[in-house]
Structure 1
């Protein structure tokens, strides 16, 4: 009988947590995107617009693509993992800034705000990826990678790195609210040096050596290596994964400190 009561209590706790998570996700989507699907559709399409603006610029300027002969595929393979990383790492931080008052409710924890926003961003990013692939197919470009497993691993690593840096950002902004603007400037630098619009491996070796310390650059090369095996890109897979896991570990420990200070 005691076991039954304990099991029922655990089931109720899980059900309550799922209800809280659902409410946070629903509130997040309604406050950010509006009550209609059009608002959410704009957010899904925004990364796609980013990719196709780059394609349009290179097409109208008649600039040669750095790798291969397909402009849409080149920019899409570089931009998708980079944008996925940037959106998660930024929006996780913004979720805490916007929804901090919700933690006054005993059912809502700081981690719940972060986890709900991560789920929203992963789903949004995946829908954006489907839209990009659909547009590529409609214009006659085959979006299937030469090595699907390598492409999926690169995409998942971009998500993991975004979550890790997002957790660190939450800890920083808890002490320095101005970091929201600081990280925006930092993101611009990361994007410019990530290799979305150029091939880093074509640069002088001394410059390329230092650029490769940017794990986001290696993420774009990771994805491109799945589509352009003949390019023979040299990616330090262990370095990128360790960067993601290190960021996640530091972020979780820092969040524990932030939660402890808040509760105190």
Structure 2
């Protein structure tokens, strides 16, 4: 009887802890919204407008080329499945480098951890990307320059994998940036240099060897192939290995959590 009561008590503690952390992350998301966008001008709408403007700008550059790389994919939809989703990766990684410094005072509160700060920022970027994809797809379909994702569930799986990989990497970058300012300076150019190998602007199915083999080792190419399968119903890739990229995500997450814990004791709150 005592053992059953003890298990019940542990379950209640776990549920209470999850409830508290959910409220903490929700509060951090609202704080991030106010800090980044404020209430002036269009306020929170920048959450959608910012990635949308970047995608529209890149799409206009390819307007005269017709179907992207002549594979029958409308340029608008290709850019949404590529560049818009790449913004998710880039934003999570770039914002991680200053996450501890800009939220140092919040760590006075025992309930708030570095993980919570990073996770709330990453969730906000994911929500921003999903909203931008929906809005941009509707706009592109209205001008006959693209269409809504034809297999949205597959696209969502690809986005979640990209989010997980980006978040795992962001924990390592946040911890490393606290130890060395050099990391913070290198992160931004590194994300731009990674664009050609990210898979955001390439199609594995049509890429010749050995370039396809080389690029397939970079985990984001797997995520973008899934995203593209979700965007285009007629596109099916023979070069997706979800177990490989999920393995990467798990390894990065474990290393990130260990690194954050090691760095936390060295973070000076004063």
Q: Normalising by structure 2, report the TM-score.
A: 0.81
Summarize deviations over 1:200-249 as a string: whole Å, max 9, x none.
Answer: 55444122211111112222222223315456441222212211221112
8 Å contact 1:93–1:167 — kept in the other structure? no
1:250 to 232, 255, 260: 255
In 2, Cα distance between the equivalents of 1:133 and 1:143?
5
Root-mean-square deviation (CA), in Å? 3.0
Q: In the TM superposition, what is the alpha-carbon distance from 1:57 to its structure 2 partner?
A: 0.7
Structure 1, residues 35-63: CA drift from partner, whole Å, max 9, x if none? 34723322422222222222211114x36
Please report how far the alpha carbon of residue 13 of structure 1 lies from its aligned counterpart in structure 2 after TM superposition. 6.9
Aligned to 2:52: 48
User: Which range is displaced more, 68-77 or 22-31?
Assistant: 22-31
**Distance in 1 between residues matched to 2:66 and 2:81, nearest whole Å:** 18
Partner secondary structure for residue 205 of structure 1: coil
Aligned to 1:196, what secondary structure does the other structure show?
coil
Question: Which structure 2 residue ranges, 5 or more long, are not aligned?
Answer: none
* 1:150 correspondence with 2:154: yes
Shift in Å, 1:64: 5.2
Aligned residue pairs, count: 257
Aligned to 2:105: 101
CA deviation map 1:51-99 (0-9, x unaligned): 2222211114x36522214111122122233222222233244332311
Mean CA deviation greater in 187-196 or 63-72: 63-72
The TM-score, its normalising length taken from structure 1, stands at 0.83
Q: How does 1:82-101 map to 2 (within 5 A)?
A: 82-101=86-105
Aligned partner of 2:264 among 240, 246, 259: 259
**In 2, Cα distance between the equivalents of 1:15 and 1:194?**
36
Deviation for aligned residue 1:118:
2.5
How far apart are 1:32 and its partner, in Å? 1.3
Contact 1:225 1:233 in 2 (8 A): no
Label 1:82 to 1:233 Cα distance change in 2 as closer, same or farther (>3 A).
farther
For residues 1-264 of structure 1, what are the structure 2 equivalents within 5 Å? Answer: 20-36=24-40, 38-60=42-64, 62=65, 65-66=68-69, 67-140=71-144, 141-145=146-150, 147-226=151-230, 227=232, 229-230=234-235, 232-262=237-267
- Contact kept, 8 Å, 2:76 with 2:140, in 1: the verdict is yes
8 Å contact kept, 2:55–2:79: yes
Q: For 2:86 and 2:242, locate their aligned partners in 1 and report how far apart those are by CA, in whole Å.
A: 16
Shift of 1:20: 4.2
